[in-house]
Amino acid sequence: MRPALLITLCTGMFLVQLDVTVVTVALPALGEHLHAGVGALQWVVDGYSVVLAALLLTGGALGDVLGHRGVVLTGFAVFGAASAACGLAQSAPWLVAARAVQGVGAALLLPGTLAVINRECPDRRTRARALGIWAGVSALALPAGPLLGGALVAVAGWRPVFLINAPIVAAATIAIRKLVAPGVRKPGCVDLPGAATAALGLGSGVYAVIGRQPVAVIPAVLAAAAFVLIEHRSADPMLPLGLLRSRRTAGANAISAAMNFAGLGSILVFTLYLQRVLNFPPPVAGLAMLPLFLTPALLGPLSGRLAAKFGTRPPIVAGLLLGAVGLFALLRAGTTGYATVLPALLGLGAGLGLLTAAVVTAAVDGVPAERAGIAGGVNNAARQAAGALGVAVFGAVAGDPAHAGTFVHGLHLLGAAAGALWLAAAVLAVRTT
């Protein structure tokens, strides 16, 4: 695969990841400026993640039907415009709404990056190596996010955190126009009822947790049931249920969900812990998060090479076990001292680094080229939906960092529960991947 094309495709994922981590460092500053509490700050993260997760399947299906090049370019345009709206926000509701539109753009561009890689790399070993590079390059957004965000917040405030996307979007758009061929369209239409019920189900579920409104579980369950029924009866479903009958694919998607549930949830609480409990200024907090963010960038390509040589099971199991050790290390967190959380940052970062490329490879392995967009959408939807729920659950359990003792106790509970979840995922990986 041409290096320039691969790097261009990585840019899409880079932006999607960058806007998760760069905003976490800015949360305390924008919360103070916009008078937003913890619940509103969770929605600043999840307003993006929920829409992204809910529409990823639609984005993949649109790419399969209309061609991934055009849909990706549209996604960049929407993402860039929404980023500008975020940077100009005058209130928390405005910012949350603009973040939701960002999620629409990300959902359009993200599945196409995997679909094009799958199309350009029909050989499994070549595809695994390409996905390893994809995971490593995209993971650079994780260390870039807190460093860039911390520096921007310290020097110019939180608004440039969003406005910085504009030049990246412009450069990526030019490169994609030159390097990505239109590709082959698949006859069919997009399943709008499926997209609507998926969005309603996920949005209601996250609202039930963040807003502490148990009644919202009812529409979430009803929408989920309606989604399954619609997909079962549809002649051209957004989520072909046959894709989930494969033990390997279903297992990989479940593991992806567990990975992002703990990963994105941890990023939120770590950021609040460092800035509100340990009182680190934003630039220092960004540097303190490097063990969590830099390790995946270094290990992503290694994961791809291991998956290509030995299969996906070894790096997936190793990543889950290392991550579980890191999560259990949260039991040592206290109200003073960065050293108590450093092992947790290192362990979780190493786990994410070994997992990402291998689990994506497992999810798309053996999928026909004409279904590459929807297969990538399914995997990314599982990851983003679980990540949105992770942000909601971790934020709800940890509570307000102004109450340091209660917040740290919440970290202990989260570390034990999430570590157990990753151990269960390791068992699943042995049986399915």
DSSP state of 338: G
* pLDDT given at position 142: 60
What gap in Å lies between CA 227 and CA 132, rounded to an integer? 33
Quote the CA–CA distance of 137 and 201 in Å, as a whole number.
32
CB atoms within 10 A of CB 123: 10
Amino acid at 94: W
Euclidean distance between CA atoms 3 and 275, whole angstroms: 39
What does R_g of the chain's alpha carbons equal in angstroms?
20
Token pair in block for residue 170: 């412009």
> Who's near 65: CB < 8 A, 6+ residues apart?
185, 186, 187, 188, 189, 190
Tens digits of residue pLDDT in 284-332? 887 888 888 778 777 877 887 888 788 889 999 999 999 999 999 999 9
Which tokens is 189 given? 């239409």
* Rounded CA separation 390/387 (Å): 5
CA 283 vs CA 6, 159, 271, 414: distances in Å: 31, 15, 11, 26
For the chain, which ranges sit under pLDDT 50? none
Secondary structure (3-state) at 2: coil
Token readout for 89 is 């926000």
- d(CA 106, CA 121) in angstroms, rounded, equals 23
- In total, the chain counts a number of residues equal to 433
Q: Using an 8 Å Cβ cutoff, are 106 and 388 in contact?
A: no
Q: Which residue has the tokens 């990989």?
A: 252
CA distance 133 to 5: 12
Q: What is the pLDDT of residue 126?
A: 75
Q: Give this prediction's pTM.
A: 0.73
The single-letter DSSP state of residue 213 is -
**What pLDDT score does 185 carry?**
62
pLDDT tens digits along 75-121: 888 998 999 999 888 888 899 999 999 989 988 888 777 777 777 77
Query: Between the CA of residue 110 and those of 62, 68, 85, 138, 268, what are the distances in Å?
Result: 12, 10, 21, 11, 22
Q: Where do runs of H (alpha helix) occur along 67-140?
A: 68-87, 92-120, 124-139
Helix (H, G, I), strand (E, B) or coil at 89: coil
Q: What is the pLDDT of residue 124?
A: 67
